[in-house]
Amino acid sequence: MQTSYRSSARILLPVRPWFIGCSLAVALLLNLLPTSLWTGLPDWLALLLVFWSVREPRRVGMGLAFLCGIAMDVADASLLGQHALAYVLAVYGGGSLSRRILWFPLGQQALHVFPLLLLVQLVQVAVRTVAGADFPGFGYFLGPLLATLLWPVLTFLLLLPQHQPADHDANRPL
């Protein structure tokens, strides 16, 4: 875990791999909720993949992103490879910018993440436009904006399991 100047001032415990898997599974579940009528909901799976690729670039790589993308494509009835391509590109971006992003405080981290999430939507629009679909409207790009606003909350929640001290002291509350 990289410690940096302000973003994670405290030294964190190492992440548990099953926690990453569970959070990704929950994100997939959230993505598949019957919310197709509301445009502008964030793509949870993309957000979680970018989060873990920034936090743990060694563990969450492009292979996992590709598999998640294929699962999304099938569940979504979209072209096979559409989500996969978008997620792979976003995770590559997140992984290669990870050391830079983690140096910033949370607000500025979110600003770095926004273009990555926008890239996910742009790639999908480009793929579908080439395949002959119509432009789905600007509400489609509201999702990354919401996801960016959620970044600080998400960071706090997902890093909670790593906040406990390694050696448990009965006389200390946390």
Q: Site residues (CB under 8 A) for other proteins?
A: 25, 28-37, 39, 58, 61-63, 65-66, 69-71, 74-82, 84-85, 88-89, 92, 95-96, 127-128, 131-134, 136, 140
Residue closer to other proteins, measured from CB, 93 or 155: 93
How many CB atoms are located within 10 Å of the residue 162 CB?
Answer: 17
Q: Provide the minimum distance between the beta carbon of 144 and other proteins in the complex, in angstroms, as a whole number.
A: 14
How many CB atoms are located within 10 Å of the residue 172 CB?
Answer: 8
Q: Provide the minimum distance between the beta carbon of 39 and other proteins in the complex, in angstroms, as a whole number.
A: 7
Contact 47, 147 (CB under 8 A): yes
Q: Provide the minimum distance between the beta carbon of 131 and other proteins in the complex, in angstroms, as a whole number.
A: 5
Residue closer to other proteins, measured from CB, 6 or 59: 59
Q: Provide the minimum distance between the beta carbon of 105 and other proteins in the complex, in angstroms, as a whole number.
A: 26
Q: Quick one: angle between helices 17-31 and 44-55, nearest 10? A: 160
Residue closer to other proteins, measured from CB, 32 or 146: 32
Residue closer to other proteins, measured from CB, 146 or 159: 146
CA–CA distance, 34 with 36 (Å, rounded to integer): 6
* CA 52 to chain centroid: 6
- Tell me which residue of 43, 55, 46 sits closest to 19, measured CA to CA: 55
How many CB atoms are located within 10 Å of the residue 127 CB?
Answer: 17
Q: Provide the minimum distance between the beta carbon of 174 and other proteins in the complex, in angstroms, as a whole number.
A: 33
CA–CA distance, 144 with 147 (Å, rounded to integer): 5
Residue closer to other proteins, measured from CB, 11 or 131: 131
